[in-house]
Chains A and B, each alone.
Chain A
Amino acid sequence: MIRLKDVELEYDNGTKAIQGITLTIEDGEFVFLVGPSGSGKSSIIKLLTGELLPSFGRVMINGFSIVNLKDRQIPLMRRTLGVVYQDFRLIEKKTVYDNLAFVMRAVGANPREIKDRIPRILHLLDLDEKAKCYPLELSGGEQQRVAIARALINNPSTVIADEPTGNLDPDRSMELMRLLIKINQMGTTVVVVTHARELVNRFGKRVVTLDEGLVTHDAVGRYVGGRRYG
């Protein structure tokens, strides 16, 4: 479960990115987090991954309180998350297989677990034939699927996707969203940060709209918001 209570975030330069957000995302939910540039979407992601601490308020994620988290607990909290980025963030000099293997090793998986789990994830994401390829040998959609595979490989309870369709064409974007829905149907909480209005409207999921660091709309259904997006 993700819970933000009266959260405020002010950067060192004085910018108030979040100005008092209270939000709860239950286990197993699928939520779109939408809003224009500078609305606070990326800041929320950074709060959820523990890269930033709130200036005020409480952030709880999967049983961990971000504010009270000790240094040695940060890795444990992050193991409950899988994060997908717009720019994929794959390691170019490693093959698809090695990109997945190294994040499993990073959380202490042994070689047998690695050998067992990677083919299953690659199969789930229709990447069976790409195990030995390097990221730059893949299309954008394939790279994003590898990034999702990496996010899923350690079996997280929550997947956070930050603008996952930003570098994909409409067909690939739709395909990716279907994949995230499928992952959600398997029990994983999914939070997708996006400003792709058409995609959001097509799936009829919960949509939380942010603007100027505040939640302006929170309902199941359509993307509501009047400002330009970018």
Chain B
Amino acid sequence: MGKHDFVYFFQEGVKNMASHRLMSVTAITMTVGCLLIMGTFTLVAVNAAMNLSTLSNSNEIVAYVDEDWTEQQARSLEERLLAIPNVTAARYITREEALEAYTEENPEEELFRDLDPGIFRDRYALTIGNLEQISITARNVERVPGVAKVNYYEELASGIITARNVAAIVSATLIGVLFVVSMFIISNTIRLTTYDRREEIAIMKIVGATNGFIRWPFVYEGFLMGLIAAGIAFLLQWGLYEAVAGAVADSDTQRLFQILPFRRIWLPVLGTFFGTGMLIGIGGSLTAIRRFLEV
């Protein structure tokens, strides 16, 4: 395709869009809506995955050692604990260290001052690899002789896992459905243009225009609609994301659920929006024009 063809096809694409202004605006609006829904669910899934990963890194199983065991016996447990699948590290914490940490965490509670370390147990802080396996790992740890009790944030872990899985499934389904819906809408809009220009297409064919030449203006039309929709959707998604991130930052949930700053993800989001928008537009236009090229 030469430079002149590019300019011509582009102009024709814009003219096509302008000739069905209302339909074009409707198609763009619907595509913006679809992209926004797709984007929102994808970003929820991305944030849930990020939180899950953070939690995996920071979440620990605390294994309390039987009070009757001596420190030497307790320290000998490390090897057995590390042999448990999914346990990636084991850090021994003496009761004195545990008391110190407890006092540091609650500096204003006078009641907890001057406590006897004897009320605490020696313990192991176990780092795990896969958060989804935390319950099974905890049960395996509990079975080790010398481990009196285990403690971990089971509900928090399972809540985030559920959120991530639901968001991933919903976003995957929605992406599929909304992609097809958007393509269908753009396809119908372009079909209207092709119907309006069927005489022109017939003349082009009879004078020897190639299918490619006939197809390009409509492809540009779809491409432009997809591009405009992607641009608008990106700006709206940005605003929406910042609003939700702001609301989360102002609430207590911030301690549990971190939101990725938009400045860190804007480029992939922009790329995905434009890529999806263009695919929807081009796919829709190719579907629309196919029938008119037979003859």
Contacts and interface: CB of A to CB of B under 8 A. Distances in A.
Interface stretch (A4-12, A74-82, A191-199, A200-208): A74-82
Given A89-B199, A91-B200, A106-B213, A79 B4 contact: no
A82 B207 CA distance: 7
B208 A79 contact: yes
B288 to A, nearest CB: 20
A154 interface: yes
- Contact count band on B: 10 to 19
A102 B202 CA distance: 13
B295 A106 contact: no
Contacts of B207: 78-79, 82-83, 103, 106-107, 150, 154
B205 A78 contact: yes
A105 interface: yes
For B5, B205, B208, the residue with the greatest tally of chain A CB atoms inside 10 Å of its CB is B208
A103 B2 contact: no
Contacts of A105: 5, 8, 213
A49 B4 contact: no
Contacts of A111: 4
Contacts of A76: 208
A13 B202 CA distance: 24
Interface string A49-77: 10100000000000000000000100111
Interface in A94-116: 102-103, 105-108, 110-111
A63 to B, nearest CB: 14
Interface string A150-164: 100010000000000
Nearest to A51: B295
B208 A110 contact: no
List the 6 closest A-B pairs by CB distance, nearest first: A106-B209, A79-B208, A78-B208, A75-B208, A103-B207, A106-B204
22 contacts: A72-B210, A75-B205, A75-B210, A76-B208, A77-B208, A79-B207, A79-B208, A89-B203, A91-B200, A91-B203, A103-B203, A103-B207, A103-B209, A106-B204, A106-B207, A106-B209, A106-B213, A106-B214, A108-B213, A110-B2, A111-B4, A154-B207
Interface of A: 49, 51, 72, 75-79, 81-83, 89, 91, 102-103, 105-108, 110-111, 150, 154
